[in-house]
Chains A and B, each alone.
Chain A
Amino acid sequence: MLVLDRVGKTYPNGVHALGGVSLEVELGEIVALIGGSGCGKSTLLRAVAGLDPASEGTVMLDGERIGAPHEKIGIIFQEPRLLPWLKVSDNVGFGLGDRPKAERAERVITALRRVGLADKAGVWPRELSGGQAQRVAIARALVPRPEVLLLDEPFSALDAFTRTDLQDHLLDLWTDAKPTLILVTHDVDEAIVLADRIMVMWPRPGRIFDEIAVDLPRPRDRQSAAFDFVKRRVLTALDHSLNRTPPNTALEQRAEAGAAMWW
């Protein structure tokens, strides 16, 4: 289990990015963090990843304190960040440096098949499209079989069609080993399609404003009424979080009528 206890982050320049976030994530759960810019969602993710450790509070995974990158935690960024001097197969196998060659080769080709890019194994990263590169990045992150996978707006740089494609693909990949997923996104649809729980954050400093459970069975139909209902709930919460007013019935009613303005 991943436990965040009053995690806060103040940067050396004085910016108070995170103001005490507490969260418990069960193994195999998918949690989405959503909110406007400046609400600290990426900061929180990077604190869990150990890349920018928190200045207050603790992050614990299975009782072990996380203060630096950990082998059980993988991360995928907004850009694929493939190493351009390595072919696709070498990129995918990057995290397996200490394994015997045969095992590495086998796990790499399995991962590439899983993301549908087995034919691109010997190709340079510069020859891949954006969607393909991101799929290779996902394969690279999943190959070491992490317990927790962090995703920092992984599909925001892609076009809408590729995005929905990769969301479904990610869900498919997730069913293999069911790692815990923590996804940062500004795409509400993406959060609802993927997550068990959606944490709406509000900014300055970043805190959790609301928690919305998505109890729909997977695979989730983006066109269904139930999906729409959850979406309206999330949009309302986002709206409120930006106005920084606590939810009250009058506002709720206005929002239900479809007047919530996210963008």
Chain B
Amino acid sequence: MTIAAEGSLAQERSVGSRRSRFMRPALGLLLPVTLALVWEIVVRRGWASGRLAPPPSVIFSTFVDLARTGELQRDALVTLSRVAAGFGLGAVVATVVGAASGYSPTLRRLLDPSLQALRAIPSIAWIPLFILWLGIFEASKVTLIAFGVFFPVYLGLMGAIQSVDRKLVEVGRAFRLSDLEMVRRILLPAVLPAYVISLRAGLGLGWMFVVAAELMGASEGLGYLLIDGQQLGKPAEIVAAIVAFAIVGKATDWLIVLAAAPFLRWEDVVQHD
């Protein structure tokens, strides 16, 4: 292949990738936008009542109303702070325990069986106990969220440390790294991609648990909006709260991806996000 032809091929590829970088998010929005449009048309035409399943226009106006009164922001912020606190607590504990169990077989044999047993219990089952122990206010909610965040992060990190390529560990041994240096210079960087994924999984579970916690008794928060919408017969409010969950939840996940991206540039993957 001549150099000129190679150059034009490279150019084609870069133009193609520029086009596809725009196409990718656009493609992701295609399905929901289409469905929303279809439903809007169906209700407008009177083929469906739109009472129990409000069309996008009604949801949107409810959304705007809630935002205008400041209620939406306040509830979103309350829920977000609960998730943040629970995530922080759960992730930190899980990182410490997961790292220790991953590195030390003795510790793993000591702790893991009990933790796996706890993990097997359906999460919602803990709510009555936590309420009894910690009351119905913030402590029980944050603890529940932390509990939910703990297991994916613990499991992910422990598994990742155990799967670190033995060949790379040997390089560390050949260069006579101390235990601490081995963890810092080889194990931690090696597990970073899997660790980030486990954090995102933990965060997702945290959002799930905050809904459960707020459904069980809250006077503010997006979960409270759900219950409020149900008790007052306002489906639009429920859906608006759900949409708010989706938006804020996705935003927090995106924050993790953004924060981790510069530390993961080295990965040998098919495609970087």
- With contacts A69-B176, A71-B176 known, is A81 near B268, CB below 8 A? no
* Contact with A81, one of B171, B176, B190, B267 (Cβ below 8 angstroms): B171
Please report the C-alpha to C-alpha distance between residue A81 and residue B172 in the assembled complex, in whole angstroms: 10
* Contact with A124, one of B171, B174, B266 (Cβ below 8 angstroms): B266
Q: Is the CB of B186 within 8 A of A84?
A: no
A79-94 at interface with B (beta carbon < 8 Å) = 79, 81, 83-87, 94
- Contact-residue size bin, chain A (C-beta under 8 Å from the other chain): 20 to 34
Please report the C-alpha to C-alpha distance between residue A95 and residue B172 in the assembled complex, in whole angstroms: 9
Please report the C-alpha to C-alpha distance between residue A28 and residue B181 in the assembled complex, in whole angstroms: 32
B183-206 at interface with A (beta carbon < 8 Å) = 185-186, 189-190, 192
Is B45 among interface residues, defined by CB-CB distance under 8 A? no
- With contacts A81-B168, A83-B189, A85-B190 known, is A75 near B174, CB below 8 A? yes
- A169-212 vs B: 1/0 string, CB under 8 Å? 00000000000000000000000000000000000000000000
- With contacts A69-B176, A85-B192 known, is A126 near B168, CB below 8 A? no
Contacts of B167 in A (CB 8 A): 77, 79, 81
Is A154 among interface residues, defined by CB-CB distance under 8 A? no
Closest beta carbon of chain A to B88's beta carbon, Å: 26
Q: Is the CB of B174 within 8 A of A74?
A: yes
Please report the C-alpha to C-alpha distance between residue A51 and residue B181 in the assembled complex, in whole angstroms: 17
B211-253 at interface with A (beta carbon < 8 Å) = none
* Contact with B266, one of A75, A79, A85 (Cβ below 8 angstroms): A85
Contacts of B21 in A (CB 8 A): none
Secondary structure at chain B's binding surface: helix, strand, loop or mixed? helix
Q: Is the CB of B268 within 8 A of A84?
A: yes
* Contact with B174, one of A51, A84, A126 (Cβ below 8 angstroms): A51
Is B173 among interface residues, defined by CB-CB distance under 8 A? yes
Please report the C-alpha to C-alpha distance between residue A72 and residue B186 in the assembled complex, in whole angstroms: 22
Please report the C-alpha to C-alpha distance between residue A75 and residue B167 in the assembled complex, in whole angstroms: 12
Q: Is the CB of B186 within 8 A of A83?
A: yes
Closest beta carbon of chain B to A136's beta carbon, Å: 12
Contacts of A49 in B (CB 8 A): 174
Q: Is the CB of B175 within 8 A of A51?
A: no
Is B68 among interface residues, defined by CB-CB distance under 8 A? no
A30-68 at interface with B (beta carbon < 8 Å) = 49, 51, 68
8 nearest A-B residue pairs (beta carbon)? A126-B268, A85-B189, A85-B266, A95-B175, A69-B176, A81-B171, A124-B266, A75-B174
Which positions in A face B, CB cutoff 8 Å?
49, 51, 68-71, 74-75, 77, 79, 81, 83-87, 94-95, 97, 124-126
Sample 15 A-B pairs with CB under 8 A, ordered by A number.
A51-B173, A51-B174, A68-B176, A69-B174, A69-B176, A75-B174, A81-B168, A83-B189, A85-B190, A85-B266, A86-B266, A97-B181, A97-B185, A124-B266, A125-B266
